[in-house]
Amino acid sequence: MTGKVTISEVAPRDGIQSITGDFVPTEVKIALIQALYDAGLRRMEVGSFVSPKAIPQMADTAAVLAFTKTLPGLESTVLVPNRRGFEAAIAGGAERLGFFMSATAGHNKANLNRTREESFAELASLVRDTPKGTLIRFNLSCVFHCPFDGVVEDAEALDWVERI
């Protein structure tokens, strides 16, 4: 088999965002990213521009993103759920954005507090407003199974994939 595999490490965001209790200091997050970088990883999801009330561990994403700009060749992605997060990401100099929503109504409402149609409309406007040269990745959650709605029918998931 020939071809290229690119690994995108998500621990600096996904691994840290659900830690409860004490806030993980920015310096610890930076040390994690530095260690992953030193190990040869060059693509990472480093944070989310989300409400610090909803996900306190991501409150310092702007500072973490600023650090990543000091690492030559590192491709840093930040997740952006809405207009406020988008504006913060752009102001912070993000060059790679991860937009996201869920294929299921239940998870989208629980995760983003809006309908899928509302999420999709807002994300479409963000795509239009994304500065030239900024890369976009679209994440569609719960395409097979949803913790709220159960098994996802193929047609339902494919409908959202086709809209994207």
With respect to residue 81, please indicate whether it lies within any of the assigned structural domains. no
Q: Are residues 103 and 154 in the same domain?
A: yes
Task: Say how many domains are in the chain.
Answer: 2
What was the pLDDT predicted at 40? 96
> Is the model's pTM score more than 0.85?
yes
The pLDDT of residue 95: 97
Examine the domain organization and report whether 113 and 69 are in the same domain.
no
Residues of the chain scoring pLDDT < 50: none
What DSSP assignment string belongs to 29-62? HHHHHHHHHHTT--EEEEEE---TTT-GGGTTHH
Kindly state whether residue 155 falls inside one of the protein's structural domains: yes
Q: Is residue 161 part of a domain?
A: yes
Helix (H, G, I), strand (E, B) or coil at 76: strand
> What residue numbers bound the domain in which 5 lies?
1-76
| Degrees, nearest 5: CA angle 32-35-39 | 140
Identify the pLDDT of residue 1.
Answer: 61
Is residue 102 a part of any domain in this protein?
yes
Q: How many helices (H) and strands (E) does the chain have?
A: 7, 6
